[in-house]
Structure 1
């Protein structure tokens, strides 16, 4: 019998986070994926460098790829240093990839990387979100709700 997956991912050290994704998209589902990296990419990530602000994921030929993620060259790398914005393969189960493809093709959703982190075993992971884009009025509602929560917390603190 297969053991159940944990509900929250085991994030020990978060390297990069896409904070804009939660504002621009409704996150429907989350997946944890490994990344196929070269040696200098891992060293650069361990140093806390890397950005996924303008990146996205796509499925090509039955494989998932992380596109446009920026992992800068390692400072002490030699001629075998990596290319900063190369497509990186994401390591997922075939069943998860099929689920993603179905949602992207049928429902018009997109795959957005939410964060890059190292888990407790020291492996680099990407948290992918299956997301649907927000309209302008949805973003306004998000801002309004966030402001109200902030004001409510301030009022509660003052009344104590």
Structure 2
């Protein structure tokens, strides 16, 4: 769906973060602004204790959601797009590690942005394909307890790319 991920009434919102976890532009900045100072404080604590060098690309970690309607924010770092190196496995990992984190938290509903498609320049159609495949593959593998995954697109072009990727992937059936 096209929408504002910061307004999603889900258990967990995924943040397309940078490795510092301290906010930035795009989705990351919007989530930090909407969540308020509690989110920044939680991220600063993580940086001081668990992730002194920052969050690596393809990994995920959760915090409280501050003023967001969600219960948790799951921060993940996608890779910067490169035409000379295939980093699609790192982008897929950002989605699967976020879902593993959601499962650990007991989240039943998760909202994802289009990770790496903003400042990290990943082509939208390819990013949507990788995202849908990663989520479908993990759901198939685990038979997860997550009831709903929502891809929240920031504009109609992104929504069309995700709808096309979902059409091409087909339904998840066992």
Structure with the higher strand share, 1 or 2 = 1
Which of 1 and 2 has greater Rg? 1
Q: Name the structure, 1 or 2, with higher relative contact order (CA <8 Å, separation 6+).
A: 1
Structure with the higher helix share, 1 or 2 = 2
